[in-house]
Amino acid sequence: MRVSTRSGKPARRVPVLLLLAVIVGGWWWFFQDRQEPLPPVEPRAVTARGDLAAAEQTTIEIFQSASPAVLFITTTELRRSLFTLNIYELPRGTGTGFIWDERGHVVTNYHVIEDASRVEVTLADQTSWPGRVVGVAPDKDIAVLRIDAPQEKLAPLPVGESTNLLVGQQVFAIGNPFGLDQTMTSGIVSALGREIKAVTGRTIQGVIQTDAAINPGNSGGPLLDSAGRLIGVNTAIFSPSGGSAGIGFAVPVDVVNRVVPEIIRYGRVIQPGLGITVAHEQLARRLGVEGVLLVNIQPGGAAEKSGLQGSRQVGGALILGDIIVAVAGRRVANFDDLRNVLDNFRVGDAVELRIIRDGEEKLVEVVLQEVD
């Protein structure tokens, strides 16, 4: 029902609403003013922690001792603009490395610095230094850099050994996963004697498997034992998703400790060999050969001096050369196996080969030579 005034205009409702607001506000104030004030709320008392567990203390000590030697590596590569043809630098990736000695040598993975035009090394104190490539061992996924940091900033890691590792030993990885520097993870040695492929396609043998979390960016970082010693260089993960799946791999320190000094001294790894050319594995299989079939013998090389014979063609017939089936008592099925066995020796060492010649097994001693 519409209320009208004498003038015929609707009545104003503002005073009624104002009155209602005053009544409600006063009611609220009346009751609020009579509520008892809340008691003060104080922080709860802190419970004393007590001593750290022995395992925790060990982990803390390892990190505090080793982390100053762990480095953050960033790389860039040169690109040419398709439109201006100008050369510019493009960030390529990140990785981890560690200080090898007090002369500024740094060890990392080869794949971390592969194809990089510039390498920058950031120390634990956040100072950055340009890294110069001293040399690489792509077959072992190892690279050595050098920085000109003052000696007081260089704290090398103690070097352990990998031949006496046992499955179940506790291990620690320090690195820069996803660019998050100085990250530590722990786990155990999950397995030993694994094989992985290097970027060259060659097999790296004796690899350490660990469940310590290793993620992108950890590559080139140290794997440590519970004494804080270097026992491997983290190099790869097995993961369908690209993140840590609890299966990480590290190049064993015994390989690293053999390769790195050669790189520092010569700029490369001195590879011992026989002075031979071998048949491709697929060809050998087609010929029914089990072992390493010799095709050519380098004139004046170690193999020729020991009387080894290569393959030859007489008329239209192929006369197969010697087939190496074992080196120093270890069976070899292909050239990759042969090189991995020879990697355990040095130039000038004498090794015994078991060969098959004209269907008969023979033993031949060869003095190893340097090969490319």
Q: Which residues are catalytic?
A: 111, 141, 219
Distance of CA 81 to the CA centre of its chain: 32
Residue 336 has which token pair?
A: 């990759």
User: What is the rounded distance in angstroms from the CA atom of residue 186 to the CA atom of residue 255?
Assistant: 22
End-to-end CA distance of the chain: 107
Q: Which two tokens stand for residue 8?
A: 């015929």
User: H helices then E strands: how many in the chain?
Assistant: 7, 22
Q: Provide the token pair at 339.
A: 């090189």
- Tell me how far apart the alpha carbons of residues 227 and 169 are, in angstroms, rounded to a whole number: 11
Contact partners, residue 359, CB within 8 Å, separation at least 6? none
Q: DSSP per residue over 215-255, as a string?
A: -TT-TT-EEEETTS-EEEEEEEE--SSSS--S-EEEEEHHH
SS3 352: strand
The CA distance from 267 to 135, in Å, is 4
Tell how strand 142-146 and strand 105-108 pair up: antiparallel
Give the pair of three-digit tokens for residue 366: 């060869």
Query: C-alpha angle with apex 306: 337 to 289, nearest 5 degrees?
Result: 40
What is the C-alpha separation between 128 and 105, in angstroms, rounded? Answer: 15
**Exposure string (b/e) for 274-310, b if CB count within 10 Å is 16 or more?**
bbbebbeeeebeeeebebbbbbebbeebbbbebebbb
Nearest to 109 by CA among 8, 238, 259: 259
